[in-house]
Amino acid sequence: MKKIALLNDFKEYAGAEVSIQSRLACVPPHLTVDFKLPTDDIDYDAYDAFILENVTRFGPDQLKPIIYDKPYVKVEHDYGYCLKRNLIDCRNCDMPCPAVTAPVIKDLFEKAKVVISQSPAHMRAQQAHLAGWKVNFDCCLTMAVKRLPENKWERKKKTIGYLGTLWAYKGIYEDIALAARKSDYHLDIAGRIGYVKPPYPQNVTVLGPIEDKWKFLAEHEYFIHLPRMLDPCPATVTEAILMGCKIIYNANVGNISFPYKTRAEWIKAAENADTNFWKKITNIFNT
């Protein structure tokens, strides 16, 4: 039996953490996987291999024993080499990002058996940005749905929904601007993290947190996501597709780079995502 430690900055936060907990729920019987936070002690010799997900909150001393002495896979939900956690060219710094030039970060990517990106578009962006690095890239759909709820809700015509992080870089204000030009449509904005600055047009409602995401998606004809920069694979876009919403998107939505053309293909991919992830891990670590 192989024993693996999975490191991530948070246990519960947003889409990345939801997908991680989903995968942990279906670990194959021949593997043991322990979840580790930055505040946890790690007995490095107790593990045969490691999965490093979002690890920007782990210090170099915590990562070096893995990078230089253990087999591991790096899973990229956003851009793990960026000090600001999720943006390339974020313009928060007036100099090249020091994380990209830090030896431990470069080695973190180059010494990984595989760096798994969240979508084909995400992988291509990373390959371009880290062109001088020798990284073994791969990608897989990390967002999974085991069973869709029965759709018992009535879809309302000319309604648009947004569900996710309420930050400007997610395109919230672009969504509102589009709604202002389409006054015969109504836009509902939902999310528990972030803030949307008023005033809002009369056809825009900011709901804040909601209890049932599936009900929210099923009741809207459209789902909108117009991020200002590449969003690798937002879970809510996949969930909206699975619930039959029409998607309003731009080229920064990484999900659209997957080759799935029909809702049935998306459902099959989401249902098999966790199994396919562990098949990949099993092959990589030869378990």
Condensed to tens digits (0 to 9), the pLDDT of residues 222-247 reads: 999 999 888 999 989 999 999 999 99
Position 1 scores a pLDDT of 60
Q: State the DSSP string of the chain.
A: -EEEEEE-S-SSSSHHHHHHHHHHTT--TTEEEEEE-TTS---GGG-SEEEE-S-TTS-HHHHHHHHTTS-EEEE-SS-TT-TTSS-TT-SSSSSS-HHHH-HHHHHHHHSSS-EEESSHHHHHHHHHHTTTS---EEE------S-PPP--SPPEEEEEEEES-B-GGGTHHHHHHHHHH-TTSEEEEE-SSB--PSP--TTEEEEES-S-HHHHHHTEEEEEE--SS-BS--HHHHHHHHTTPEEEE-TTBGGGGS---SHHHHHHHHHHHHHHHHHHHHHHHT-
Its pTM stands at 0.85
Position 92 scores a pLDDT of 57
User: Would you give per-residue pLDDT tens digits along the chain (287 residues)?
Assistant: 689 999 999 888 777 888 888 889 889 999 999 999 999 999 999 999 999 998 988 888 999 999 999 999 999 988 777 755 444 455 556 666 667 777 888 899 999 999 999 999 999 988 988 888 999 999 876 677 777 888 889 999 999 999 999 999 999 999 999 999 999 999 999 999 899 999 999 999 999 999 999 999 999 999 999 998 889 999 899 999 999 999 999 999 999 999 999 999 999 999 888 889 999 999 999 86
What are the structural domains, with CATH classification, of the chain? 2-141+271-285 (3.40.50.2000), 156-257 (3.40.50.2000)
